[in-house]
Amino acid sequence: MAFLELIDVTKSYDGKKQVVENVSVAIESGEFFVLVGPSGCGKSTLLRLIAGLESLTSGYILIDGQVANDWPPHARRLSLVFQNYALYPHLTVEQNMRIVLQAQKVPKEEQRHRCLEAAEMLGLTDVLGRKPRELSGGQRQRVALGRAIVARTPLCLMDEPLSNLDAKLRATMRVELRRLQRQLGMTVIYVTHDQTEAMTMADRVMILRAGHPQQVGAPLDIYNHPANTFVASFVGTPPMNLAEAHVLEHSLLLQNERPVRLMRRPLPKTERVTIGLRPEHIHRVALGDGHVTASIVHVERLGSETLVTFELTKQIHWTARWSGQANVAVGEVASFSFDEHALHFFDGHSKRIGPPTRIEEEAFER
State the chain's mean pLDDT as an integer: 90
Res 1: pLDDT: 43
* Residues 39-43, mean pLDDT to the nearest whole number: 92
Res 363: pLDDT: 45
366 has pLDDT over 80: no
Alpha helices in the chain (DSSP H): 43-51, 93-103, 108-122, 137-151, 167-184, 195-201, 219-224, 229-234, 358-365
**Of residues 148, 124, 151, 150, the one with CA closest to residue 138:** 124
364 has pLDDT over 80: no
What are 170-175's contacts with CB under 8 Å, separation 24+? 170/197, 172/138, 173/138, 173/141, 174/200, 174/201
The whole model's pTM is what? 0.88
Please name the residues in contact with 45: beta carbons below 8 A apart, sequence gap of 6 or more: 11, 19, 20, 54, 211
356 has pLDDT over 70: no
Res 278: pLDDT: 97
Separation CA 341–CA 354 (nearest Å): 12
14 has pLDDT over 50: yes
Separation CA 183–CA 53 (nearest Å): 28
Q: Which residue has the higher pLDDT, 199 or 255?
A: 199
What are 133-142's contacts with CB under 8 Å, separation 24+? 133/89, 135/93, 137/164, 137/165, 137/166, 137/169, 138/165, 138/169, 138/172, 138/173, 140/85, 140/87, 141/85, 141/165, 141/173, 142/176
The CA radius of gyration of the chain, in Å to the nearest whole number, is 24
Q: Are strands 204-209 and 32-36 parallel, antiparallel or unpaired?
A: parallel
* Residues 186-215, mean pLDDT to the nearest whole number: 94
Separation CA 227–CA 314 (nearest Å): 28
Structural domain spans, the chain: 4-224, 240-365
- The rounded percent of the chain whose pLDDT value lies above 70 is 96
Does residue 348 contact residue 298 with C-beta atoms inside 8 Å? no
Give the fold, CATH level 3, of 240-365: OB fold (Dihydrolipoamide Acetyltransferase, E2P) (2.40.50)
CATH of 4-224, one of 3.40.710.10, 3.40.50.720, 3.40.50.300, 2.10.25.10: 3.40.50.300
Three-state SS for 214?
A: strand
Res 355: pLDDT: 54
